[in-house]
Structure 1
Amino acid sequence: MEKSITYFENPGAENTDAVIELVRERLEGSNIKYVAVASSTGASALKLNEALKDLDVTIVNCSHHVGFREPNKAQISAETKTELEEKGIVTFIGSHALSGVGKSISKKFGGVTPVEIIAAVYRTFSQGIKVCAEISIMLADAGLVPVGEEIIAIGGTGSGLDTAAVLTPANMTNVFDMKFHEIIAMPRP
């Protein structure tokens, strides 16, 4: 089997359109039925939906937990969440699988937790690879993407999309059962 990987010189939102096109190309003729996307505001999820609307795939959006940037506030507006739902896209809002309470402990008491080490290892590839792993765990735990079935996960660095991978999600309780099968695109570290 021969596959190609697209590498971007820089991370960030400037790669969003290219990542979406590469994901579309990978989906065409495949048996992949789920696409997980990290879109804190929903803007990238809306762009992705527009590009994939004629394909038979389920798009699931993952946003930051309420309070990520500001207490009691979600980054995705109620209007955008409703717009996504009207297009058949569920948005999950929840705690990060690879930081969560552990990050709070580290901030308060110092040191690092094992989960933060796992996140750091994923970041040695790119922030987007870490995001792909993290959202697949979160969405699997919520029952929104299947465990044991290949999906495409899409993430980024800061804002927008710059990374996409084919992976098999795992639940948090079996996190080491997650398998990355292909990297479609990512920024060079």
Structure 2
Amino acid sequence: MEKNISHIVVASCTGRSARVLREEAVKAGYGGKLVCVTHAFGFAGKGTNEMPDPERRDLENLGFQVYTATHVLSGAERGLSRVFQGAYPVEILAHALRLFGQGVKVCVEVSVMALDGGLLPCGTPIVALGGTKSGLDTAVLLSPSHAGALLETRIHQIICKPF
């Protein structure tokens, strides 16, 4: 597989992880696109967003495309499962991905979200970075699919993840 990666997607709630990626990308001479996917509004509390507007603007000025949307592997299904209990298909898939680690689930999720938001080219391998709680601990080479074809997403390589 060609590993000339044109897009890197990073999960970042506050902007800190995105800034770390930017520093490392500059050091490595990376010239591709950088996409930052944040938690959805309301994740930390009704009507709130964890990433302050000034931080979002700063990241955009650093060259990031910053995207906030409903989490593709929970979203509405989490709202239903909280009220009606039970297991729902998308949440089951999220739990299956967590078998490889929380970061792997995050990498798949933010990649699909970014693709659905029009920030990634369809059918192209990208690198996604995610983690567990705070910071980055996982990198995945994958070709995301749109949420409507989620099972067509292909994980080519788990570059790193915690034990």
TM-score band, normalised by shorter chain:
over 0.9
Give 1:17's aligned residue.
none
Query: Does 2:10 match 1:32?
Result: no
Q: Segments of 4+ in structure 1 off by > 2 A?
A: none
> 1:155: which partner in 2?
130
Say if 1:36 and 1:136, in contact at 8 Å, map to a contact too: yes
Name the SS for the 1:187 alignment partner. Answer: coil
1:12 maps to what in 2?
Answer: none
TM-score (norm 1): 0.82
Output aligned runs, 1:68-107, within 5 Å.
68-107=43-82
Superimposed CA distance per residue, residues 121-173 of structure 1 (whole angstroms, 9 cap, x where no aligned partner): 00011000000110111000001112211100010001100100100010011
Instruction: Please report the TM-score for the alignment, with normalisation by the length of structure 2.
Output: 0.95
Among 19, 23, 30, the residue aligned to 1:55: 30
Between the two structures, name the one with larger relative contact order (CA 8 Å, sep ≥ 6).
1
Q: Distance in 2 between matches of 1:175 and 1:73?
A: 28
1:175 to 150, 153, 156: 150
Q: Find out whether 1:41 has 2:14 as its counterpart.
A: yes
Structure 2 residue identity aligned to 1:51: E
Residues 37-62 of structure 1 show CA distances to partners (whole Å, capped at 9, x for unaligned) of 00011111011111112311111000
1:187: how far off? 1.1
- Unaligned 5+ segments in structure 1 are 2-28
Question: What do residues 50-96 of structure 1 show as CA deviations (whole Å, max 9, x unaligned)?
Answer: 11123111110000011101221110011110100001101111110
How many matched pairs?
A: 161
